[in-house]
Amino acid sequence: MSWRNIFISKPAKLSLRANQLLIWQEDEISIPLEDIAIIIIDSREVVITAPLLTALAHYGVTVLVCDEQFLPCGQFLPFSQHSRFLKMLSLQINLSDETKAFFWQKIIRQKIIHQAFVLKLSGKKELSQHLIQIANTVKANDADNAEARAASIYFPAVFGKGFSRGKENPINIRLNYGYAIMRSALARSLVAYGFLPVLGIWHKSELNTFNLADDLMEVFRQTVDLEVYTQLIANEINDRFETPDKAQLVKLLNHEMIYKNKTHSVLSAIEQMVKSLNSAISQNNPYLFTLPEITYANECQYE
């Protein structure tokens, strides 16, 4: 399994030699393509060759590029990574509303549980218990909008009174960057397992190519939230969002999560979850869809 995430923040030329990524900067760096999961290009002065792009597609490597504000804006994904793509497409299209409602209920319940975990680590134990109570009442398709009720409690408690996800500020810039990294990792894994990311479970925007990735990333957002929160309480957040800050968020893909009682990196947990979704849909058994948990192994760092 590929595991390396490459962050390019300086001018460079990226090329191919003997199934290796060559990074030409002050020195020449060589990395086996089979080890690479994601390449994030955060510099406006990077040149990449066509043979390398072809090889990256062959190895299932995704490339994330950034705009003039150095925020992720585009993604290169390979075609035909799955041997039965048409079969999976048919299964996605014909997925029943009942199954989608069950999947969304499970996702939202786990998301709120993860939010409760973050609140616990931030010392808000009563609010954490309140969110657990909300999580236990999530209905199919989140019919009672438990997600919004939990969010109205969660974000101000973690990031301060008056905080809103709709505002442009240093906290949201960091959250958005981290979420974009998680989203790209999910899109990569979905394509590898034969899914068409535009066909979502809950998200259905005609303008969104990654509706399904946006559905699944709900349970990974809190890994980003927790990292940004720790930066906030350490007084490390200011108006300048620079390369070290971005690199720290990219490293979240290597942080630990628990999946089926075993420790995995976030990147591995994403793959295992998408694999379980593939099995659940292919075998017409929604209970095969399983989600990762934020690990308690990191809890001591925040107490």
Instruction: Give whole-number Cα distances, 123 to 45, 119, 158, in Å.
Output: 44, 6, 10
Q: Residue 298: pLDDT above 50?
A: no
Q: Residue 297: pLDDT above 60?
A: no
> What per-residue confidence (pLDDT) applies to 77?
85
pTM, two decimals, is 0.89
> What per-residue confidence (pLDDT) applies to 1?
65
Contact 165, 225 (CB under 8 A): no
Map out the domains of the chain with their CATH numbers: 4-76 (3.100.10.20), 85-301 (1.20.120.920)
297-302 contacts, C-beta under 8 A, 24 or more apart: 297/256, 297/263, 298/255, 298/256, 299/121, 301/230, 302/121, 302/122, 302/226, 302/230
Closest CA to 8 of 38, 51, 35, 33: 38
**Residue-averaged pLDDT of the chain:** 92
Q: Model confidence over 65-83: pLDDT tens digits?
A: 988 877 788 899 887 565 6
Q: Residue 202: pLDDT above 80?
A: yes
At residue 207 the predicted structure's pLDDT band, cuts being 50, 70 and 90, is: confident
> What per-residue confidence (pLDDT) applies to 232?
93
